[in-house]
Structure 1
Amino acid sequence: MAAGGFRAEGHLCLILLEYVRPLDEVDALMKAHVAFLERGFAEGVFLVAGRREPRTGGVILCRGIAEDIEALAQTDPFVTGGVAEAEVVEFKASFAVDALARLAK
């Protein structure tokens, strides 16, 4: 298992967040969401995160299998606060730039 009890096994996932409430409600939960992201990065589960353009949600690249990442996504304050819905897409990387190549193994 990877850090924080997450099984990596060479799998990667995307958490696709879609806002379902107005941005002022999203912004009210931003501090808690950032703390959630910081924990995920500290545990080595989150690799890259950012907002969608246009600002309709966010994307988080994670190391782990869908079952674990789905459970984690459901604890995101945006999701628990009802301002966003999360979809988890698991994939096995076949190609990557050199800087990310170790994640594809």
Structure 2
Amino acid sequence: MYIVSLIYTASLDRIDDALPAHRTYLDAQFAAGNFIAAGPKLPRDGGVIVASHMARDTLDAILAADPFAQHGVARYEVTEFKATRLAPGLNLPRPESA
């Protein structure tokens, strides 16, 4: 799994202009099972995405398709981790190599 930290690199006006397309992108990634959680940071200087287990190059390609990336309004810091404990009832696919 991955924690993706988005850091805004543009004004909030530019972020807000790209936000509808970014939300559509997020909807598609949730529907595909790629993302588990997402939301803005507080204060609003970026966001956080929790991504499912996948190859890192696959995640990089998914993030490159984000309208925030395509409009150059955010950069991404990615941390991979191995989830060894999950909240009861959280239905996540288990990685094959876990």
- Corresponding position of 2:7: 18
Query: Aligned residues: percent identity?
Result: 36
1:33 aligns with 2:22: yes
CA-atom RMSD, angstroms? 1.6
SS at match of 2:65: coil
Number of residue pairs matched by the alignment? 94
Q: Which amino acid aligns with 1:94?
A: T
Shift of 1:102: 4.6
Deviations 1:73-92 (A, max 9, x none): 11110011011001221111
* Higher fraction of helix: 1
1:83 aligns with 2:69: no
- TM-score (norm: length of structure 1): 0.81
- TM-score (norm: length of structure 2): 0.86
Deviations 1:28-72 (A, max 9, x none): 000100010000011011111100011011111111232211211
Structure 1 consecutive aligned stretches of length 4 or more whose deviation exceeds 3 Å? 101-105
Alignment check: 8 A CA contact 1:51 1:58 kept: yes
Q: Distance in 2 between matches of 1:99 and 1:50?
A: 21
Alignment check: 8 A CA contact 1:14 1:88 kept: yes
Q: Distance in 1 between matches of 2:31 and 2:92?
A: 19
